[in-house]
Amino acid sequence: MPVFYGKHIASPLMLGTAQYPSPAILADAFRASNAGIATVSLRREAGGGQDFLRLIEGLGAAILPNTAGCHSVKEAVTTAQMARELLGTDWIKLEVIGHSDLLSPDVFALVEAAAELTAQGFKVFPYCTEDLSVAERLLRAGCEVLMPWGAPIGSGLGLNNPHGLRALRAAFPEVPLVVDAGIGRPSHAASAMELGYDAVLLNTAVAKAGDPVAMARAMAQAADAGRAAYLADPIEPREMAAPSTPVIGKAFLQ
């Protein structure tokens, strides 16, 4: 199971708390998923008030506040400070958005904000790309976890660049890595875990599913299966067929 900033998490599935049809379905989905971490946007929490906060605290998951919707260093840092005061945690999922259509990270502002927040004692979970140089800069800025995107937020496209994600895993074998954004189906979650990632973070795929509770359960099973497959050391793909039945001892008729 993943370890983030010294804290052991019971499940490789991390789940967002926005867009559910009702608070009751949100709670049921979390119970079905057994998610170890719940991400909370400060804007979303402010909209729900104390009732929403009590609901999240009752889920039994670690709370990871989120700077969702921030487009500058100042906005992200200020939001993180407010989240720490409101939610009582120094964990922060750091988002600094660079492109409004793709919701892609502004990697330059991200590194700057990560360094500033780390200096203030935050434990930063940066939403980033799979670029190795960006990853190196985030680690030098003090991040101990990296959260590269699979695809644009809410797109459900899965893993757009599995080769880049695999290269990131190989380059930083000791760093906890989480695929964040773009996962739409359980097969996507399993694929991310089969690459050796420590966890997957998703929201829309569960919250907007026809049956969020059933989808949450399916995502949990897929994440567990993908992790188990990775640990089992799967065979490498090959271009040509390889017989599964040995030919030694086979009778040859003239």
pLDDT of residue 225: 96
Placement of tokens 């995107």 in the chain = 149
Cα 62–Cα 84–Cα 18 angle in degrees, nearest 5: 55
**181 appears as a binding residue in the annotation:** yes
Specify whether the backbone of 60 is left (phi greater than 0), alpha (psi in -120 to 50) or beta. Answer: left
Eight-class DSSP state of 89: -
Task: Give pLDDT tens digits along the chain (254 positions).
Answer: 889 999 999 899 999 999 999 999 999 999 999 999 999 987 645 555 677 888 888 888 899 999 998 999 999 999 999 999 988 999 999 999 988 888 899 999 999 999 999 999 999 999 999 999 999 999 999 999 999 999 999 999 999 999 999 999 999 999 999 999 999 999 999 999 999 999 999 999 999 999 999 999 999 999 999 999 999 998 888 888 887 776 666 665 66
123 as an active site residue: the answer is no
Catalytic one of 7, 74, 93, 250 = 93
**142 appears as a binding residue in the annotation:** no
Query: Using CA atoms, how far apart are residues 120 and 135, in angstroms rounded to an integer?
Result: 20
CATH architecture of 3-232: Alpha-Beta Barrel (3.20)
**17 appears as a binding residue in the annotation:** no
pLDDT in tens, 31-49: 999 999 999 987 645 555 6
pTM above 0.85, yes or no: yes
